[in-house]
Amino acid sequence: MRAMLCNSFTGPQDLRLGEIAEPKPAADEILIDVHAASVSFMDQLLVSGLYQMRPPLPFVPGTEASGVVAAIGDNVTQFVPGDRVACSSWTGGYAERMIAKESKGVHLPDGVPFEAAATVLHVYGTAYYALVERAQAQAGETVFITGAAGGVGLAAVDLGRHLDLRVIAGVGSDDKAALVRRYGASEVINYRSEDLRDRIKSITSGQGIDIGFDNVGGTILEQMARLMNWGGRLMPIGFTSGAIPSIPMNLPLLKNYAIIGVFVGAWAERFSAEAARMNDTLMQLLADGKIRPHIDRVVPLEDAGEAMRAVANRTVQGRIVLKIR
């Protein structure tokens, strides 16, 4: 079968399309005919050797996909061949067939297209886990979301709107402002050209933000640590800037706010039943039109490397989807 292969941790430019043997599902796995796979920032970190785990080489990238169940393992009870599904896995999505744990698959409601379904579990899963499970966000609270036009950021903006939060979107260029406003941001801050401290204080009348949802890290999160409201929740989601920030611990002490880590992949591994329920919830929200994944563009499998480079260069709004079938 056709698959995009990573043979070395040297980045997207060295991915090669090739033929590999079809994977075989273990007892607790499903085999999927992949129709669509999304391209994530995590995917390009993995092939560049910059993620906290390194799969054995060679491997097929792709953490999220959708398609039709082709076969099931002996212990699988939730799926049968022919079911339409979306799934997540650490690797494997950039191929004609992939395997995934039964617990990491979810049925697609009727009418949900494969392209949209392939963009939900990772980005909306991260946003849902952060806002609902970890922050326990309440309607009317103010959330500041950095990297707000990217995959996870835009999902957080969209879900924040659904949760009746006051969404402040942080972006790195003015051309992203219209998109995040369309998805529910009431205010937009370009933190490359505006003073973040002054803007947050002005928008919140000096109170600060209740929830800090940070995808960027570095100096942005360090500034956010000084802009929290009393009893707020500051959540590091990722570090797309490449810099791990340092926060003086007297800051959360003075405002009684919490710093809450968000690693949805590790949570899903430990609490698979809870993660499966979240995935069902997300797919129903998608089917009901209550969340609206934004697809930047759909490209063929051959263009996976170019798509990863676009993600790394932050020229993507929402998600790029690979059309496999």
pLDDT of the residue at 99: 97
Q: State the pTM of this model.
A: 0.90
CA-CA distances (angstroms) from residue 104 to 85, 92, 117?
A: 10, 13, 14
Residues 297-311 have a mean pLDDT of: 96
Structure-token pair, residue 173: 């260029």
Q: Answer yes or no: do 75 and 30 share one domain.
A: yes
* Residue 288 counted as domain residue: no
| Per-residue pLDDT at 265 exceeds 90 | no
Q: Answer yes or no: do 115 and 127 share one domain.
A: no
Q: Answer yes or no: do 146 and 241 share one domain.
A: yes
CATH number for position 196: 3.40.50.720
CATH number for position 316: 3.90.180.10
* Residue 150 counted as domain residue: yes
User: Burial level of 162, CB count in 10 A (0-12/13-18/19+)?
Assistant: middle
Residues 290-315 have a mean pLDDT of: 94
Q: Answer yes or no: do 134 and 260 share one domain.
A: yes
Q: How confident is the model at residue 166 (pLDDT cuts 50, 70, 90)?
A: very high
* Residue 272 counted as domain residue: no
Q: Answer yes or no: do 177 and 216 share one domain.
A: yes
Q: What does pLDDT average to over the chain? A: 95
Q: Answer yes or no: do 114 and 134 share one domain.
A: no
Domain span holding position 96? 2-119+293-323
Q: How confident is the model at residue 82 (pLDDT cuts 50, 70, 90)?
A: very high
Q: Answer yes or no: do 29 and 158 share one domain.
A: no
* Residue 69 counted as domain residue: yes
Q: How confident is the model at residue 164 (pLDDT cuts 50, 70, 90)?
A: very high
* Residue 284 counted as domain residue: no
Among 263, 262, 250, 254, CA closest to 232: 254
* pLDDT tens figures, 107-157: 999 999 999 999 999 999 999 999 999 999 999 999 999 999 988 999 999
Q: Answer yes or no: do 233 and 133 share one domain.
A: yes
Residues 141, 129: Cα–Cα separation, whole Å = 17
* Residue 281 counted as domain residue: no
* Residue 274 counted as domain residue: no
pLDDT of the residue at 51: 87
Q: Answer yes or no: do 55 and 89 share one domain.
A: yes
Instruction: Answer for the pair 301, 8: CB distance below 8 angstroms, yes or no.
Output: no
* Residue 187 counted as domain residue: yes
The total number of structural domains in the chain stands at 2
Q: How confident is the model at residue 62 (pLDDT cuts 50, 70, 90)?
A: very high
pLDDT of the residue at 295: 95
Q: How confident is the model at residue 318 (pLDDT cuts 50, 70, 90)?
A: confident
In one-letter notation, the amino acid at residue 117 is A
Residues 301, 307: Cα–Cα separation, whole Å = 10
Q: Answer yes or no: do 151 and 255 share one domain.
A: yes
Q: Answer yes or no: do 139 and 96 share one domain.
A: no
| Per-residue pLDDT at 233 exceeds 90 | yes
* pLDDT tens figures, 4-38: 999 999 999 999 999 999 999 999 999 999 999 99
Length of the chain: 325
Residues 163, 135: Cα–Cα separation, whole Å = 12
